[in-house]
A and B are shown apart, each in its own frame.
Chain A
């Protein structure tokens, strides 16, 4: 009897694991990221993992190149009307992965979804648009509500990819984006194993002749930083995101791995809740900011690999004010400001998610606030609860980060500093009518020099009023296997996978 059970067990085992032995997998470029892919629909999500994927699957009208210039992509050329309100794009002859032509109809459909669908995760880049229409098979016309300087730049944002109207109509949204979506970008989906990996293969109809240079690619989700490091060191993957700062130096001496610090539009800062006491009081916010030695914090947290932040906008963004002196580290002044604010007796809650960096910053902050007599306690919750509490304004302070998807500052200002743009200034509930007004002026103005002045003013006001406490501007710390050439992560969080080759 026992033997029979054992035999049956062995048989079950054998069938379970006798998965057809695949032919040696063709060489592929493998990238490990901590962020997960949850949807392949470019309209539905602004979560980090999905952003990395969209650009690989869906081509946009225009692309930003390595020199930061906008280049024609699906659009061959474009014209702007004299009043800066009508943009007419001429499409090139390109095809979807299923061989059907990419038409003006598809472009209008895709971007109108992003712009008007109530479930659209991030309609802001097209907020200036009044209408998108297909004039003929190959011509798309965008009509703006008013002249909008960053319009072209916004067309390079990750959710501007073109999807097939025909396919979405035929299969329905759910199917069209979960089972082998029809793509317009360099890759199409070979297999999607949710929560594990996305296996890509070249789109034979990609408009760019001779691209992608490497036919196969895999995007793996690996949550642990230590594991990603091990994987790139053993050659199990070719690129990893988010190398912890403490590992940057050790990794530099590795023979087969190259560590790259790539420019980013990320800013680390501390959210201060302007909706409730004590930080509804501007002096209390200023006290909190002057108490923090952000140069020392930057050194301690990033080992000096990041720039200490001087304004409330990311350092790599256009019109960032490099001349601004920043908020000085001045405990005496901070003490005095705290006293003047009358909020000295409040104990504040520093809310953090489960990130080690946030925790380290929180502990350092707590000590520096303690030094000026501002008492605090740290409350650590998981990421989901963090968003819940922050969005509801149930916190006092929270160290975190954000990034901007284009070099143009407009979206950044709307997200983090503008009180009337829908995000409550990144849930700090900071609001200043002057800033809101300047936000609108900044996009109506077409002259770059005048725009620079406007954004300088925004930075000056929000930094002085401490809408948030700027901490530092970190680069992306990514590690690459030396066998791969031409792969990098752009500041807009897009992999240049189509240009990457395996060699050597």
Chain B
């Protein structure tokens, strides 16, 4: 019951946020130089042709009118039509969504076990060589530019060794797993260090917390203290971080998608921005906002399930 009212509450709060985002995006796009008509017809078109095309797509109307029309459609749940492709924006988003979702879940399923393993190893070995090694590799993984890692991995495992495809998404679950392995690995290489750092810090902090000292003083074995008291309490901040990261990844796998030619949302976003396909950029921005809010909500719900003391 409480969860339900929370849900309703959150969704109500969402409306002004979406409205704000829609307006800001619209204005930013209007201010950006560049003309979708020009990119559409190509370089040889005359001014008259450009004017005719702008007229056709309503690009020459004053912007408040355009904004009004846009909101009118939005109110009816219509995200509009892509200027480039003359196809509905919602259809385009649906077309590019599955690879992104698959990739994000893939990243999560690679990252979570690795993070647990490494963070626990590091924290239990605090200051030891394993801890240091994990940290050094972590810093390297985190500091290397993503596109560079992506290009190197694709050369090594794709071109040289031939273990994994270097592009695309494939058809069917197994092919998806195969095709998206390198993109997921590339993303995990910077994500795991971030997560490990957070979890390790939390583990160390909790291991000195009062309730842990209390548990120890009761004579519980160190192993039991760790698994029953320290770990569950240390997980929460990391879970929140994971939520933030997942929300980021839904719209933020741009570079990985570019290097591995994955037909995902990030790619749609970049190409739409570059072609000034306003309605698609608008639709995607709203979609990302929605996704961010939903992921946050999911994390909050998961938090209450893990730790019933937390009230939302």
Contacts and interface: CB of A to CB of B under 8 A. Distances in A.
Indicate whether A and B are direct neighbours in the complex (CB within 8 Å): yes
Interface of A: 1-2, 5, 13, 16-19, 21-22, 25, 32, 36, 38-39, 44-48, 50-51, 118-124, 174, 177-178, 193-197, 220, 222-224, 226-227, 230-231, 233-234, 236-237, 381-385, 387-389, 391, 402, 415, 422-423
Contacts of B98: 16-17, 19
B84 A121 contact: no
Contacts, number: 167
Contact of B34 (A22, A177, A382): A382
Which 5 pairs from chain A and chain B are nearest by CB? A46-B42, A384-B34, A230-B166, A47-B42, A194-B85
B40 A47 contact: yes
Contact of A122 (B45, B86, B168, B267): B45
B171 A384 contact: no
A485 to B, nearest CB: 24
A112 to B, nearest CB: 16
Interface string B22-63: 000000000011111011111111101100110010000000
Q: Is the interface of B mostly helix, strand, loop or mixed?
A: helix
Given A17-B98, A224-B259, A384-B274, A236 B42 contact: no
Nearest to A1: B305
Contacts of B155: 230
Contacts of A230: 154-155, 158-159, 166-167
Interface in B263-310: 263, 267-268, 271, 274-276, 301-302, 305-306
Question: Which interface residue of B48, B86, B172, B305 has the most chain A CB atoms within 10 A?
Answer: B86
B275 A384 contact: yes
B48 A118 contact: yes
B52 A119 contact: yes
A2 B305 contact: yes
B125 interface: no
B204 interface: no
A470 B64 CA distance: 45
A231 B275 contact: no
B32 to A, nearest CB: 8
B238 interface: no
Contact of A196 (B32, B52, B82, B263): B263
A382 B49 CA distance: 23
B291 to A, nearest CB: 15
B305 A19 contact: no
Given A36-B271, A195-B85, A17 B305 contact: no
B87 to A, nearest CB: 6
